[in-house]
Amino acid sequence: MALTLYCSLTSPYARRVRLATRLLGMSGEIHEEVVDPFSSPTELLASNPLSKIPVLRDEDGFVLPDSHLILSYLLEQQGRAMPAARGDWAEARGLAIVEGLIDASTSIVMENRRPESIRYPAHIDRQTEAITRCLQALAKPPAPDDFDTAAPVPLSLATALAYMDFRLPWPQWRGQQPQLAEWLDALTGHVAMRDTRPPDNA
Ligand SMILES: N[C@@H](CCC(=O)N[C@@H](CS)C(=O)NCC(=O)O)C(=O)O
């Protein structure tokens, strides 16, 4: 069945799905359609009234409009399951924190895109503090081989940290969490990371 992934090349939510399709060996089955969710394109709205990406859909109108849902679906196709569905609550907690890290980072990026006169610095500070605490909670990186297994925590964490380097003017996290920084740097040359890297001019 032909599957389409509506995505952008810069969204961290889309990137974790794009990483998963590659690590699971499913990228050949999924056509990636790049869209700009902020311009509310008709083809995206037909699948997701929220006009958010990523969205996975098939020709019959089966639609999954959320990265967590899509990861659940992809794993299920391979007889696997997300941590909560397996009752692994420690891993589920870790995943929720990493997903919160992506939410906090994108929230800062969005706030910084407002005209300066209507930016709310207290919001940026609060999200920055949340990121700092999340990184402290996660400080020990996943085992090196976990990334290749397409486990949701490592692929989402790599996405979150790479997104922080890409979009947040806040390189201090690397000094605060050198083990995480080292872990991310070791993945930089990985074929799936290279293949999903945002374009240089993005
Ligand atoms: N919870 C959603 C969040 C998706 C999301 O916020 N995507 C952003 C792209 S980074 C988006 O499409 N934003 C468009 C908008 O907010 O209008 C997920 O995990 O997929």
Rounded percentage of the chain residues whose pLDDT exceeds 90:
94
144 Cα–ligand 1 center, Å: 29
169 pLDDT above the threshold of 80: no
Pocket of ligand 1 (CB under 6 A): 11, 13, 37-38, 51-54, 66-68, 106
d(CA 33, CA 4): 7
For the chain, percent helix, then strand, then coil, each to nearest 5? 60, 10, 30
14 Cα–ligand 1 center, Å: 8
Model confidence pLDDT, tens digit, residues 45-57: 999 999 999 999 9
d(CA 17, CA 150): 10
57 alpha-carbon distance from chain centroid: 18
pTM exceeds cut of 0.95: yes
106 Cα–ligand 1 center, Å: 9
Instruction: Please answer whether residues 77 and 83 qualify as being in contact, where contact means their C-beta atoms are separated by less than 8 angstroms.
Output: no
Model confidence pLDDT, tens digit, residues 22-49: 999 999 999 999 999 999 999 999 999 9
55 Cα–ligand 1 center, Å: 10
Amino acid making up residue 92: A
Model confidence pLDDT, tens digit, residues 118-130: 999 999 999 999 9
Write down the mean pLDDT value for the chain: 96
Amino acid making up residue 18: R
Residue with CA nearest ligand 1 atom 10: 11
Domains of the chain, earliest start first = 3-77 (3.40.30.10), 84-190 (1.20.1050.10)
To test the pocket of ligand 1, the residue of 13, 68, 99, 196 to mutate (highest count of ligand atoms within 8 Å of its CB) is 13
Query: Could you tell me the sign of the dihedral formed by the alpha carbons of 149, 151, 155, 158, in that order?
Result: negative
d(CA 189, CA 185): 8
